[in-house]
Amino acid sequence: MDNVQGLGPAYYIGKFDGILGLGFDSIVVGGGPSPFSALVSSGQLEKPEFAFYLGNLEEGELVLGGTNPNHYEGKFTIVPLIAETYWEVALGGITVDGQATGSDTSRAIVDSGTSLLAGPVREIKRIAQLVGATPLFAGEYAIDCAKIKSGPSITFKLGSGIFTLDPVDYILDQQGICLLGMMGINIPPPNGPLWILGDVFMRKYYTVFDWGNKQLRIAKSSKHSGQGDVKLIENNVAVA
């Protein structure tokens, strides 16, 4: 896809060549196999999975057909999918420094195409109040840069796994102006309500999208702050 005029100014102003959807066949516009479904069916992949590492002010990496052990540490947590649409998993709750936020949204997707964490407007507002962020505009929030060192942690329960974001993970320092790395978006049924765990989550957590077993495998990235370009690896071999 290289015509992104219908997706808003953030897409058509941005400098990139196009968008590659890596979801399931059920959400392909016009029908037919999704790009990754076609790759799996072709038999060209060593394993029916792909994995993302988002770099620490260095190149990130997309591996097609495997993983790269150099970019994660510890054991993977397995999170089963609950739907074969986007990469959708059960959201069991959200806490801020151990205090439950009262989230009434039970579904989340992990999505490399979303820069921030996005959730229902009411729930984002509740979390913003708990971490000390103030409304800015268009669903965004500003936060005191000092909270990078002193703010509370935010924890997401995905399946049976617990994943924690510290202030350094969810506060974005833009040359001395700090933003909460969350935005309120109300996605209507049947697709929503829904949380979208985008790059703010994926910079800390190396994520394997396991097509064959219909699950995510998530481990802590070996380096997990900052942003970089993403390079493509196929079956652990660099593609020019």
**Lowest-pLDDT choice from 25-34, 59-68, 71-80, 175-184:** 25-34
Widest pairwise Cα distance in the chain: 51
Phi, psi of 31 (to 5 degrees): 85, 180
State the Cα–Cα distance between residues 59 and 227, nearest whole angstrom: 8
pLDDT band at residue 230 using 50, 70 and 90 as cut-offs = very low
Delineate the domains of the chain, giving CATH numbers in brackets.
5-238 (2.40.70.10)
In tens, the pLDDT along 144-199 reads: 999 999 999 999 999 889 999 999 999 999 888 899 999 999 999 988 899 999 99
Reduce the DSSP state of residue 92 to 3 states and report it.
strand
DSSP 66: S
pLDDT band at residue 223 using 50, 70 and 90 as cut-offs = low
Taking alpha carbons only, the member of 87, 42, 101, 63 closest to residue 213 is: 87
